[in-house]
């Protein structure tokens, strides 16, 4: 085994990464960190305008990035996004399945359409992108890494989030199944489980719940923080740094694993 220096361990120069939902929030922070480590990044998002802005920010910092419109529920979009990485950067070495939604609805009010949407985006989307990327990685024969955004809800249910809890539990087992089957191809598959992270998605969810309960946003936030031993919300970069670790050579003997990034939430 090569004896890499610390900087070599985290050097992703010459690597091409694809980040789903990379336009905003955690995905954007991941795209920034992977680019900072030297990777070229394709940002695949339904929100093409925001994806283009994120790609432009990466390029303004001297990185290489490309934005593509993709709905993770659509197999053809997964294949096209992987092809975009190959066309732009010659290969794909790293996939981050980050796109996800988290509607907060009491279980007895969850419409079938909401159930399908959550499972399709959070779970089927991760499968479709993993399949498309892994096929390309297997063909290229250089191995690769796939990192899935699960959630603390994958192992500990949250209220008003039954479809979401189920989708993220599925992402955890998808991660393990892929890790087992793709190991012979030197494709490592891991997951990250964030706790509460401040993003456009969580800001919107908190406002919606607060207004329907007729209480201030801050009351919801303070209630949540009581359950977090480190007493703060995470920042998107708290998650991005862990994804960078899993993407790096420092994690070359880790596969099928879930790393929790939650400020101690699961302890309480």
Ligand X SMILES: NC(=O)c1ccc[n+]([C@@H]2O[C@H](COP(=O)([O-])OP(=O)(O)OC[C@H]3O[C@@H](n4cnc5c(N)ncnc54)[C@H](O)[C@@H]3O)[C@@H](O)[C@H]2O)c1
- Binder among 16, 25, 66, 161 for ligand X (CB under 6 A): 25
> With binding defined as CB under 6 A, does residue 70 bind ligand X?
yes
Residue 148 forms beta bridges with which residues?
Answer: 97, 191
- Of 10, 102, 127, 164, which residue is the catalytic one? 164
Please, which residues have CB within 8 angstroms of residue 159's CB and are 6 or more apart in sequence?
none
Binding positions for ligand X, 206-235, rule CB under 6 A: none
Rounded to the nearest angstrom, the gap between the alpha carbon of residue 138 and the centroid of all alpha carbons in its chain is 22
> With binding defined as CB under 6 A, does residue 46 bind ligand X?
yes
**Residue 27: Cβ within 10 Å count:** 29
Is position 10 annotated as part of the catalytic site? no
Minimal distance, residue 199 CB to ligand X, in Å = 3
C-beta closer to ligand X: residue 45 or 79: 45
> With binding defined as CB under 6 A, does residue 101 bind ligand X?
yes
- Binder among 190, 202, 248, 255 for ligand X (CB under 6 A): 202
C-beta closer to ligand X: residue 110 or 183: 110
DSSP state of 234: B
> With binding defined as CB under 6 A, does residue 255 bind ligand X?
no
Listed ranges 86-94, 175-183, 194-202, 252-260: which one lies at the site for ligand X (CB under 6 A)? 194-202
What is d(CA 242, CA 226) in angstroms, rounded to the nearest whole number? Answer: 24
Please, which residues have CB within 8 angstroms of residue 125's CB and are 6 or more apart in sequence?
20, 72, 73, 78, 97, 99
Q: What is the dihedral of CA 222, 194, 127, 66, to 10 degrees?
A: 100
What is d(CA 22, CA 109) in angstroms, rounded to the nearest whole number? Answer: 30
Q: Which residues bind ligand X (CB under 6 A)?
A: 20-21, 23-27, 45-47, 50, 70-73, 98-102, 121, 149, 151, 194, 196-197, 199-202
Would you name the residues annotated as active-site residues? 164
């Amino acid at each position: 085994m090569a004896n890499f220096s610390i900087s070599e361990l985290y050097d992703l120069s010459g690597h091409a990464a694809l980040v789903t939902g990379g336009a905003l929030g955690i995905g954007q922070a991941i795209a920034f960190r992977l680019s900072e480590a030297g990777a070229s990044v394709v940002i695949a998002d339904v929100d093409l305008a925001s994806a283009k802005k994120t790609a432009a920010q990466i390029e303004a910092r001297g990185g290489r990035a490309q934005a593509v419109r993709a709905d993770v529920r659509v197999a053809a979009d997964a294949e096209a996004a992987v092809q975009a990485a190959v066309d732009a950067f010659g290969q794909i070495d790293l996939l981050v399945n980050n796109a996800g939604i988290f509607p907060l609805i009491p279980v007895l009010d969850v419409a079938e359409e909401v159930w399908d949407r959550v499972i399709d985006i959070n779970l089927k989307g991760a499968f479709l992108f993993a399949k498309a990327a892994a096929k390309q990685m297997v063909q290229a024969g250089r191995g690769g890494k796939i990192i899935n955004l699960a959630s603390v809800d994958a192992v500990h249910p949250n209220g008003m989030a039954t479809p979401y809890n189920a989708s993220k539990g599925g992402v955890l087992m998808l991660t393990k199944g892929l890790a087992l089957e793709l190991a012979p191809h030197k494709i490592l598959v891991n997951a990250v489980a964030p706790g509460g992270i401040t993003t456009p998605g969580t800001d919107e969810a908190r406002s919606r719940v607060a207004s329907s309960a007729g209480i201030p946003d801050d009351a919801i936030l303070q209630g949540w923080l009581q359950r977090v031993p480190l007493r703060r919300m995470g920042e998107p970069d708290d998650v991005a740094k862990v994804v960078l670790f899993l993407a790096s050579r420092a994690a070359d003997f880790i596969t099928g694993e879930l790393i929790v990034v939650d400020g101690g939430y699961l302890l309480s």
